[in-house]
Amino acid sequence: MSRVRGVALLALALSFGILAACGGGTPATRGAEPGMRLLTEPQYRRIIADIFGEQITIGGTFDPLVRTNGLLTVGSSDAHITPAGLEQLDRMARSIAAQVTSEENRDFLIPCAPADALSPDPQCARLFFRDTGRLLYRRPLSKDELDAAVAVADAATTELGSFHEGLAAGLAGMLISPSFLFVIEEVEPDPDREGAVRLDAYAKAARLSFFLWGTSPDDELLRVAESGELHAPRMMKKQVDRLLDSPRLEQGLRLFFDDMLNFENIARLEKDAIIYPAFSTAVANDAREQTLRTMMDVVLRQDGDYRDVFTTRKTFLSGPLGRIYRVPVSRPDGGWMEYEFPEGDPRVGIATHISFTALHSHAGRSSPTLRGKAIREILLCQRVPDPPGTVDFSKFNDPQSPAHTARERLTVHSIEPACAGCHKLTDPVGLGMEHIDGAGQLRTSEEGYPIDATGELDGFNFKDVAGIGPALRENPAAPACLVNRLYSYATARTPVRNERKYLKHLEHRFEDEGFKVRALLREIALGEAMYAVKQPAAQTAAVNVSPRGKS
C-alpha cells in the first residue's frame, strides 16, 4: 500500500513538475493601459474593401503618422486628426458612401429596397445601418447610435428626395465617426482577478483581427465576441487557428512587413532621371511588391525559416524590375514570374532588393550611411542616433574632393570625432553594399574607379554585397527584432518593461520552432500577454465600464 502511495505521490510530483515547466515557461505580464489608436491608411483601405468590395475607390490623403518603435501602427496610438486631415476624411467618407449607395452597388451592398425610392424608409435604413455599422464600429451599434443614423438618413432623404442619397448621408456620418476612425479599446472587470480589468471581447477581437488580417473583425469573430465566448481559451484558440488558416493571413502579414520595412516611403521615392533613367515609378512600385512576394513565399507558402528572407536567391520579377536587375522576364507586358538568381550573382536576400537598396539611397547616388542605418534600425531593431545639429557636411560634399568612391568620401566620417561614433555603426555595413548603386543596379566601379565592397556587420566580415544576407541571417538580433516588431504590431504600442521577459521567451520559442513566422504569430495571438491590460489611470479608483453597444 505504501508502495502504491509512493508511486502516486511520485506521479503527482511529476505532474506538478511538468505543469510547472509548461505554465512556468511563459512569463506573466501586466500589459499596459488599453489604447485608442487611429486607423492607419492601409487598415482604412483594407476595411473599406473588405466591407464594401474592392470596386470602391478611395481618393484623398491621410495625415502622416509618426513611426514609433519602428512601426507606423504603433505611431497611430499617438495620432490625432488635424482639421485638414478631417476634411480629407470627410470627403472620403462622402465619396465612399455615394459609391456604396450608387445604382451599380446598392443591390448587393444594401440588404433591402425602400418601399419608395423618393421617401424615407426607416426600416430599411435601420437594417442597413445595423449590419454595416456593426462591421464599421467593430461592435454592435447602441440603440442611440442606430436611432441617430436612421434619423440622419430620414432627414436627408426628405431634404434630397432620394432614399439612397439619404442613406449615403447617414453612412458618411458613420465613416467620419471616431467609433470607426479610432480603434477604441474598452475594459471590463476581470471575473478571474478581483479588482483587475481585462479587454472586453470586442477589443480582443479587434486586436486579433488587426494583428493577423490587418483589418476589422469579420462577422464570425464579432459573433463570438458578442456572445462572450471569445474569453474562453478554447474559443480563442479556435478563432486564432481560423484566422491563421485563412488566405487573409497573407494580406495581414503583408501589411505588417510593409510597415516594418518602411515601404510607405516607396510611394514618394524619386530618382534622378539623368543618372538612373531605368528607374521609374513602376520600378519602385514593383520593387515593393517583389520583396513582399518574396517574404510571403518564404514565411507563408514554404513556412520556412524567417532568416531565409536574407539569403534566398528565389524571388519574383516583373518587366520593370527586369530592366534594373538585368534579367529577362517572361511577361514584359505585365505579370510576375518566379526567378532564382544564379549562384555567383550577388543578389542574395531582401537586403539586396531594389526595395531596400534604392529606398535607402539618395536620389542620385547610393548611401552607405543610409543603408547601414536601415540595416540596423529596420532589420535589427538597433538605434542609430541622429546626426548632431552642428555636423559639417562640406567636407563630404566637396565637389573638389579627390575622393572618387563612397568609401573614400566617407573616410571623413572616421576622422571627424563628431561623426565617427555613429558612422562606425552604419558605414562598415553600408560600404559592403556599394556594388549596388542608388537605383538598385549592380556595378563594380564608381567614376571609373573600382569599388572596394568589403563590409562588416557585428563581427561578420564579408567581401561584397552578397555577404550582407548571410551576415544578417547569422545575426541573433534579426529574429529578435521580428519578435519585437510583431509583438508591438499586435498590441499597437511599444513593449513595456514588464514584458521584457515575455519577449525573451518569445524569442526562444521562435528559435525552438525553427524561426517559423506562422508559429510565432500563433504563439503571440494565443498568449495572454497580447491582451493583458492595466487599469486605465482615469478608472483606477473605480472600474465602472458599461458593456458597449448595450445602452
Partner 1 sequence: MMSTSLFARRAAFVSLFGLLAIAAQAPLHAAANGQSMGFVVTTWNIASYETRFVDECPEGLNVGYDEYWWRSLSKPDRARYTDNGLKSRLERYFNAIRRGPNGEDVCMNPTVVKDPPHRLVESEKAYGMDLDGKDGVTAGRSCPHKEFTGIDGTKGVDNQLYRLLGCVYGFRSYGQFEANENENRKSNGKGMTLIEITGVDNPRNDPEVTVNFYRSIDLYTLDGSGRFLPHGSYRIDTYGGKPRYASQVRGKIVNGVLITEPGDVNLPFYGNYTYQNRLFRDLRMRMTLSKDGDSAEGTAAAYFDLDELMFYIGGLGPIQSTAISNCPSIYVAAHEIADGYPDPKTGECTALSSAFVFKAVSAFVVHDGAAGTMSAGQGWWQRVKEWFR
Number of residues that bind partner 1 (CB under 8 A): 24
Is the separation of the CB atoms in 516 and 306 below 8 Å?
A: yes
Nearest to partner 1 of 207, 323 (CB atom) = 323
Site string for partner 1, 122-161 (x = CB under 8 A): ----------------------------------------
What contacts 4, CB < 8 A, 6 or more positions away? none
Is the separation of the CB atoms in 96 and 60 below 8 Å?
A: no
**From the CA atom positions of the chain, what is the Rg in Å?**
27
How far, in Å, CA of 530 to CA of 522, rounded? 11
Within a 13 Å sphere around the CA of 538, how many CA atoms are in the beta-carbon half?
6
3-class DSSP state of 197: strand
Find the binder of partner 1 among 196, 337, 363, 543 (CB under 8 A): 337
Is the separation of the CB atoms in 545 and 539 below 8 Å?
A: yes
At residue 36, what are phi and psi to the nearest 5 degrees? Answer: -140, 120
How far, in Å, CA of 55 to CA of 61, rounded? 19
Q: What's the N-to-C CA distance of the chain in angstroms?
A: 63
Q: Which of residues 305-324 bind partner 1 (CB under 8 A)?
A: 319, 322-323
Q: Which of residues 344-383 bind partner 1 (CB under 8 A)?
A: 344-346
**Residue 333 lies near partner 1 (rule: CB under 8 A):** yes
How far, in Å, CA of 296 to CA of 469, rounded? 17
**Residue 449 lies near partner 1 (rule: CB under 8 A):** no
**Residue 228 lies near partner 1 (rule: CB under 8 A):** no
Write down the least CB distance from residue 462 to partner 1, Å: 17
Find the binder of partner 1 among 49, 58, 160, 442 (CB under 8 A): 442
**Residue 342 lies near partner 1 (rule: CB under 8 A):** yes
**Residue 430 lies near partner 1 (rule: CB under 8 A):** no
How far, in Å, CA of 255 to CA of 54, rounded? 17
How far, in Å, CA of 137 to CA of 143, rounded? 14
In order, the DSSP letters of 100-130 are HTSTTTHHHHSSS--SSTTS--HHHHHHHHH
Nearest to partner 1 of 14, 273 (CB atom) = 273
Find the binder of partner 1 among 178, 233, 328, 421 (CB under 8 A): 328
Nearest to partner 1 of 24, 277 (CB atom) = 277
Site string for partner 1, 275-304 (x = CB under 8 A): --xx-x------------------------
3-class DSSP state of 275: coil
Is the separation of the CB atoms in 347 and 316 below 8 Å?
A: no
Nearest to partner 1 of 135, 348 (CB atom) = 348
**Residue 543 lies near partner 1 (rule: CB under 8 A):** no
Nearest to partner 1 of 133, 467 (CB atom) = 467
Nearest to partner 1 of 233, 332 (CB atom) = 332
3-class DSSP state of 431: helix
Is the separation of the CB atoms in 532 and 29 below 8 Å?
A: yes
Give the total residue count for the chain.
551
Nearest to partner 1 of 194, 333 (CB atom) = 333
Please identify, among the stretches 33-41, 49-57, 79-87, 338-346, the one whose residues bind partner 1 according to the rule CB under 8 A: 338-346
Site string for partner 1, 239-278 (x = CB under 8 A): ----------------------------------x---xx
Please identify, among the stretches 23-31, 92-100, 180-188, 332-340, the one whose residues bind partner 1 according to the rule CB under 8 A: 332-340
**Residue 444 lies near partner 1 (rule: CB under 8 A):** yes
Find the binder of partner 1 among 127, 148, 300, 327 (CB under 8 A): 327
**Residue 399 lies near partner 1 (rule: CB under 8 A):** no
Within a 13 Å sphere around the CA of 208, how many CA atoms are in the beta-carbon half?
35
List residues binding partner 1 (CB under 8 A). 273, 277-278, 280, 319, 322-323, 326-333, 337-339, 342, 344-346, 442, 444
